[in-house]
């Protein structure tokens, strides 16, 4: 194992609106050993980029990452950056960088190690966009990293994400958006189950539904896993989930009133997808391949549902690779001059 990294490192995964941010905040407030980082890690963004002459780009990348904005409210009006939560600047940090760090994910893990040390903790946890899909790659880049996946009932997770920021309205492409959210939920579950079989000591799953209803077993498991008092865990999850679902009454909206936000056909489609029968045969076929090639499956699923958006993202990704390559060459030449 590479001693560069703190072995008590956690990635927080799960489908959207499943309690990832709540877990990170509760760890920051109550864990005796783990610091929960309050912003999204965005590791997935940098895993897809390429950095020629990485050694010469480390300061550039560290500076970019620490200044990268993250929205921290539903209306996307408030922004925070990693630098807001670190008590040191990128230039000073770079002076202590170990020579062994040769990739962006390792660089950010090292940065979070420094964050944990400053907090007086032995490790850290950071949430990201479906890190379970890339967990095998992360294990190679950050030896010892573990995975915790927050899960929520598919009806609630899909509905809250569908109405997120727009309640009581939904997107104009409601049907396609719902399919995409449901596809991601199913993909996360299938890949997570595969990881639990393959890495039983390093992957743990919690139900946010069980935690918020005060299930003693779930509360106890979380308290034990992250070295917290059970009363602290109970307090952190003592709230009513937005868009909680009741089979006969529907969903509790932000206004506290029960609404039939999904049609019977949509609810049936969710139940069928969870049972392995997606409404689209191509998505059903993709999900059957998920345990073997999760990143590829996610990419193909996105392309089938949003081809125009994916083409634009790939063009932007190509431009970014050109920029990263140019930066690497420029910085190397500068260092050798």
E runs forming strands in the chain: 9-13, 34-36, 70-71, 79-80, 123-127, 146-151, 203-207, 245-246, 250-252, 258-259
Residue pair 237/208 in contact by the 8 Å Cβ criterion: yes
> Which residue has tokens 């399919």?
179
Q: What's the pLDDT at 3? A: 46
Q: How far is CA 195 from CA 146, 208, 240, 291, in A?
A: 11, 19, 30, 9
**Hey, what CATH class is 9-336 in?**
alpha beta
SS3 250: strand
Q: How does strand 146-151 pair with strand 258-259?
A: unpaired
Cβ atoms of residues 136 and 291 within 8 Å: no
- Residue 125 has phi, psi (to 5 degrees) of -140, 135
CA dihedral 18, 229, 146, 155 (to 10 degrees): -10
Polymer length of the chain = 337
Q: Which of 184, 218, 169 is nearest to 294 (CA)?
A: 184
d(CA 238, CA 247): 22
Domain regions of the chain by residue span:
9-336
The pLDDT value recorded for residue 248 is: 94
Contact indicator for 41, 135 with CB cutoff of 8 Å: no
Dihedral sign computed on CA atoms, order 277, 306, 131, 125: negative
Angle at alpha carbon of residue 43, lines to 167 and 109, rounded to 5°: 130
Nearest to 188 by CA among 128, 260, 144: 128
The answer to whether 21 touches 127, Cβ cutoff 8 Å, is yes
Bond from prior residue into 168 cis (ω within 30 degrees of 0): yes
Distances, alpha carbon 80 to alpha carbons 67, 86, 260, in Å:
9, 12, 35
pLDDT for position 4: 52
What confidence score (pLDDT) does residue 75 get? Answer: 72
* DSSP letter (8 states) at residue 82: G
Q: What pLDDT sits at residue 145?
A: 97
Note down pLDDT in tens along the chain; length 337 residues: 344 555 599 999 999 999 999 999 999 999 999 999 999 999 999 999 999 999 999 999 999 999 999 998 877 789 999 999 988 888 898 889 999 999 999 999 999 999 999 999 999 999 999 999 999 999 999 999 999 999 999 999 999 999 988 899 988 899 999 999 999 999 999 999 999 999 999 999 999 999 999 999 999 999 999 999 999 999 999 999 999 999 999 999 999 999 999 999 999 999 999 999 999 999 999 999 999 999 999 999 999 999 999 999 999 999 999 999 999 999 999 999 8
Which pLDDT value is given to residue 7?
58
Q: 312 in the Ramachandran plot: left (φ > 0), alpha (ψ -120 to 50) or beta? A: alpha
Write down the pLDDT at residue 74: 73
- Residue 239 CB coordination number (10 Å): 9
Instruction: Evaluate whether 97 touches 65 at the Cβ level (below 8 Å).
Output: no
Q: What is the CB neighbour count within 10 angstroms for residue 322?
A: 10
State whether the Cα torsion 294-242-240-269 is positive or negative.
negative
DSSP string over 12-36: EE-STTSSHHHHHHHHHHH-SSEEE
pLDDT at 173: 93
């Amino acid at each position: 194992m590479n001693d560069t990294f703190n072995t008590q490192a956690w990635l927080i995964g799960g489908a959207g609106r499943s309690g990832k941010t709540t877990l990170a905040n509760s760890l920051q407030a109550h864990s005796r050993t783990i610091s929960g980082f309050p912003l999204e890690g965005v590791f997935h963004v940098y895993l897809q980029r390429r950095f020629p002459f990485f050694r010469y780009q480390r300061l550039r990348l560290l500076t970019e990452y620490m200044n990268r904005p993250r929205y921290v409210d539903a209306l996307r009006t408030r922004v925070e950056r990693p630098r807001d939560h670190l008590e040191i600047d990128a230039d000073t940090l770079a002076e202590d960088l170990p020579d062994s760090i040769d990739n962006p994910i390792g660089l950010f893990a090292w940065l979070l190690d420094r964050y944990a040390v400053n907090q007086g903790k032995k490790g850290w946890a950071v949430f990201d966009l479906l890190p379970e899909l890339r967990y095998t790659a992360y294990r190679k880049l950050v030896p010892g990293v573990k995975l915790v996946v927050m899960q929520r009932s598919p009806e609630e997770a899909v509905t809250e994400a569908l109405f997120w920021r727009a309640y009581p309205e939904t997107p104009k492409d409601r049907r396609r958006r719902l399919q995409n959210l449901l596809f991601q939920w199913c993909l996360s579950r299938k890949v997570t189950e595969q990881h639990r079989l393959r890495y039983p000591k390093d992957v743990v799953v919690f139900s946010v539904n069980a935690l918020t209803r005060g299930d003693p077993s779930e509360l106890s498991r979380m308290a034990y896993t992250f070295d917290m008092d059970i009363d602290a865990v109970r307090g952190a999850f003592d709230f009513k989930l937005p868009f909680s679902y009741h089979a006969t009454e529907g969903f509790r909206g932000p206004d506290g009133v029960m609404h039939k936000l999904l049609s019977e056909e949509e609810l049936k489609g969710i139940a069928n997808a969870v049972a392995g029968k997606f409404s689209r045969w191509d998505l059903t076929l993709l999900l059957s391949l998920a345990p073997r090639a999760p990143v590829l499956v996610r990419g193909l699923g996105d392309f089938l549902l949003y081809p125009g958006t994916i083409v634009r993202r790939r063009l932007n990704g190509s431009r970014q690779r050109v920029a990263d390559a140019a930066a690497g060459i420029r910085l190397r030449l500068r260092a050798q001059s």
